[in-house]
Amino acid sequence: MNQRLITGQTLAFSASPFAVPPEEAVRHHRHGAVLVEDGRIAKVGPAEALLAAHPQVPREDMGEALLMAGFVDAHAHYPQTGIIASWGKRLIDWLNGYTFPEEMRFADPAYAGEIAGLYLDLNAANGITTACCYCSSAPESVDALMAAAEARGLRLAAGKVMMDRNAPEGLCDTPARGYEESAALIARWHGRGRLTYVVSPRFAPTSSPEQLEAAGALWAANPSCLMQTHLSEQHEEIAWVAGLFPEAPDYFGVYQRFGLTGPGAVMGHAIHLTARERAAITETGTGIAHCPTSNTFIGSGLFDMAAAQRLGVPVGLATDVGGGSSFSMLRTMAAAYEIGQLSGTALHPAQLLWLATQGAADTLRMGEAIGNLAPGREADIIALDLASTPVIAQRAGRAESLWEQIFPTIMLGDDRAIRAVRTAGNQPRAAA
């Protein structure tokens, strides 16, 4: 048996900080330790007790750093790595002007492989140990990302974008081709090692009703896959969907009609929802990925986290790279906090950390495998330096509580705060 003890401050959730007072939702050991056995967490507890119980086990000391579950990004687009921070456009023009031309390049396996490696390295540098990722519509783009994740030992969910209208011809498939190519990718990658396939119709405007029907049939035939799409991000988009699907009650109703809702379905954004849509999201148990840096960067609007929590469905945090403006889940939490303030809810640091770990894992139906520092979970662990820059160090130095010590890193931290990343207990390996 391969064993290792990692010591530092440990932070684990015992309950959802949205369900109980946030301070009561966590277990913290200022001098803690995690026992890792064969890539899984075996024990979490006070360092003294674990060191005494396992005197022969190799140790890794992270000092004062905060050991917690690796971040989970519930929604991202790896082919947009190269166009992150593109200026001046709202969603539809941003897609046509920046996104689609770049995604066109991913039929080239060499380019796809290069960006897939870069994307996963940037994720690791930012403590993201699992992402739920859109590829481009080219199957080669999925092969490249899945292979790069497998080579690094990373848990990953990803899928080929299905898109058969309102996009450049070179990016469009057809209902039959989108189905067949996705089915072949499922056969090749889904359930292999730590990889999960995600049926990925981009969003209602770029799929015909026939293609959405095919996507629903594909997911029904492969129910252990996830399903991801975009919902109600901008007002112009919502009006466009109403014109394209006049018989649907609303945007979410389009996805309901084609069997694209329910547990394991992840709706990106979901900002501007009607009362009927909220009720239907609850009824179906559909998950939501909140993408705060994207929502401000593309000018989409203010997500109401308090209302989303009342729906009683999984809600996770996401970068939405490259509509999102950062690979950092710390920066993403900071943006969620700022948006919360603007919509009347001061999210507690424990709630922000939950959304970036267990909440996001729950949206991906991976909440039993990852997302918390708990026995039995896969050992995807990060060590956060809570004094990574002078401004953070001086603010944390005045802290009178754990949360006052952590919050400056959430608000001001970046990849410099990620002192170490361990995936399944190991350092992420670069692809060969």
What does the binding site for ligand GUN look like in residue numbers (CB under 6 A)?
77, 91, 95, 99, 202-203, 230, 233, 294, 298, 320, 323
324 binds Zn ion (CB under 5 A): no
129 binds, among ligand GUN, Zn ion, none (CB under 5 to 8 A by kind): none
Residue among 127, 178, 201, 268 that touches Zn ion (CB under 5 A) = 268
Cβ distance to ligand GUN smaller for residue 277 or 320:
320
Identify the residue whose tokens are 């990953």: 156
CB of 234 to ligand GUN, least distance (A): 8
Tell me the closest approach of the beta carbon of residue 320 to Zn ion, in angstroms.
5
Question: Residue 409 binds which entry of ligand GUN, Zn ion, none, with Cβ cut-offs from 5 to 8 Å by kind?
Answer: none
Q: Residue 322: is the preceding peptide bond cis (ω within 30°)?
A: yes
Question: How would you write the chain as a 3-class SS string?
Answer: CCEEEEEEEEEEECCCCCCCCHHHHEEEEEEEEEEEECCEEEEEEEHHHHHHHCCCCCEEEEEEEEEEECEEEEEEEHHHHHHCCCCCCCHHHHHHHHHHHHHHHHHCHHHHHHHHHHHHHHHHHCCEEEEEEECCCCHHHHHHHHHHHHHHCCCEEEECEECCCCCCHHHCCCHHHHHHHHHHHHHHHCCCCCEEEEEEECCHHHCCHHHHHHHHHHHHHCCCCEEEEEECCCHHHHHHHHHHCCCCCCHHHHHHHCCCCCCCEEEEECCCCCHHHHHHHHHHCCEEEECHHHHHHCCCCCCCHHHHHHCCCCEEECCCECCECCCCHHHHHHHHHHHHHHCCCCCCHHHHHHHCCHHHHHHCCCCCCCCCCCCCCECCEEEECCCCCHHHHHHHHCCCCHHHHHHHHHHHCCHHHEEEEEECCECCCCCC
Q: How far is the CB of 229 from Zn ion (least distance, A)?
A: 9
Taking residues 184 to 223 in sequence order and writing x for each that binds Zn ion by CB under 5 A, - otherwise, the string is ----------------------------------------
Q: CB under 5 to 8 A by kind: which of ligand GUN, Zn ion, none does 185 bind?
A: none
**Residue span binding Zn ion (CB under 5 A) among the ranges 245-253, 255-263, 313-321, 358-366:** 313-321
Min. distance of Cβ 210 from ligand GUN in angstroms? 19
Q: What is the nearest approach in angstroms of ligand GUN to the Cβ of residue 29?
A: 39
Q: Which does 181 bind (CB under 5 to 8 A by kind): ligand GUN, Zn ion, none?
A: none
Nearest approach, Cβ of residue 319 and Zn ion (Å):
9
Among 143, 320, 378, 385, binds Zn ion (CB under 5 A): 320
Indicate which of ligand GUN, Zn ion, none lies near residue 79 (CB less than 5 to 8 Å, by partner kind): none
State which residue, 65 or 267, has the beta carbon closest to Zn ion: 267
Partner that binds at residue 25, options Zn ion, ligand GUN, none, CB closer than 5 to 8 Å by kind: none
The nearest distance, CB 236 to ligand GUN, in angstroms, is 11
Piece in contact with Zn ion (CB under 5 A), picked from 53-61, 79-87, 317-325, 411-419? 317-325
Taking the complex as a whole, how short is the minimal distance between the CB of residue 416 and ligand GUN, in angstroms?
Answer: 27
- Interface positions with Zn ion (CB under 5 A): 268, 320
